[in-house]
Amino acid sequence: MNATEKEQRLAGALLSLHGLAIGDGIGEMMFGWPDRAFGMIMKDELPAGPWWHTDDTEMALSIVEVLRGMGCIREDTLTRHFMLRFGRDPDRGYGCGARRQLRMMLEGADWRVTSREVFNGQGSMGNGSAMRVGPVGAWFADDLDRVVKEARASAIVTHMHAEGVAGAVAIAVAAAMAWRLRGKTPEEAGTEFFNEVHKRTPDSETRRGIAQAFQIRHVESPQAAARVLGNGSRVICPDTVPFTLWTAAKYLGRYREAIAATASVGGDVDTNCAIVGGIVALSTGWEGIPKNWLREMEALPYAHGQNAST
């Protein structure tokens, strides 16, 4: 990979990362306010920043760091980055399962062991594998087979369960498709977007939910879609990924509306908004993200649109 190609890939990953982080921060503020969320976001009636991000962004930052340094996902390297970030700042809203795994890793346990700890050795099916993976899809957007491979690698260090892997693959492919379909309306992009995501997602409950999301793609109300698909309340991929894909497909090219619609259904709001934000930002470019949101978000180690050092 030459320097120019690396810069182009990093630019896409950083765009997804910022879209994800803003969604994460806004979603975190909107917990408990689903009835008010849409209006507050659309009218820019949000609290003053900094909008603090959660573990969603912390783990996505680790992914970007590994991609920037290695050009691909190396499981051992990604694990070390996850551990280091958790060790420096453990109070970012990590779930119980993630906290337990990361503490075990910090004490010397191998990720191949800790990642299989739950569900009778199958590993976690939690939505954490999906919440952080958007930058992987952006980095490898020109090669969907590679997206699948790298998304799986990013998942298995903490989410060995087939559903955890399926959720990561689906969201990474969706991010890649949002980049590839930029400039198209949801009507123009919808079928192609869903077809690629569904085709490349491994057989799973998550994949069946994606098929259902496609079937109800013409439903207008996010609340109606969430009643069918779930809103992340169970904090697992089958309950999170189908709805976030429905929303991302519905609002391709409309970042503010995508975040507002996602926050309006409640559930695991910060993760839902992080996932949708990391996808839809790739369809809008930097110009599609409100400039004041970029100012209000908590600062990241990477400056907006720049290849800043970590």
Residue 1's pLDDT is 79
Assign residue 71 a region: left if phi > 0, alpha if psi is -120 to 50, beta otherwise?
Answer: left
**Across-strand partners of 33?**
none
pLDDT tier at 186 (50, 70, 90 boundaries)? confident
Place of tokens 């809203």: 93
End-to-end CA distance of the chain, in Å? Answer: 21
Tens of pLDDT, residue by residue over 73-97, are 999 999 999 999 999 999 999 999 9
Residue 305's pLDDT is 55
Distance CA 83, CA 111 (A): 11
Amino acid 268 reads: D
Residue 310 reports pLDDT greater than 50:
no
Helix (H, G, I), strand (E, B) or coil at 297: strand
Percent of the chain with pLDDT over 70: 97
The two three-digit tokens of residue 156, written as one number = 């298995």
Distance CA 107, CA 99 (A): 12
The two three-digit tokens of residue 250, written as one number = 């519905």
* Class of the CATH-defined domain 9-296: mainly alpha
Residue 34 reports pLDDT greater than 60:
yes
Residue 304's pLDDT is 62
Tens of pLDDT, residue by residue over 207-228, are 999 999 999 999 999 999 999 9
pLDDT tier at 13 (50, 70, 90 boundaries)? very high
Distance CA 162, CA 265 (A): 27
The two three-digit tokens of residue 64, written as one number = 């970007």
Q: What is the pTM of this model?
A: 0.96
Tens of pLDDT, residue by residue over 230-249, are 999 999 999 999 999 999 99
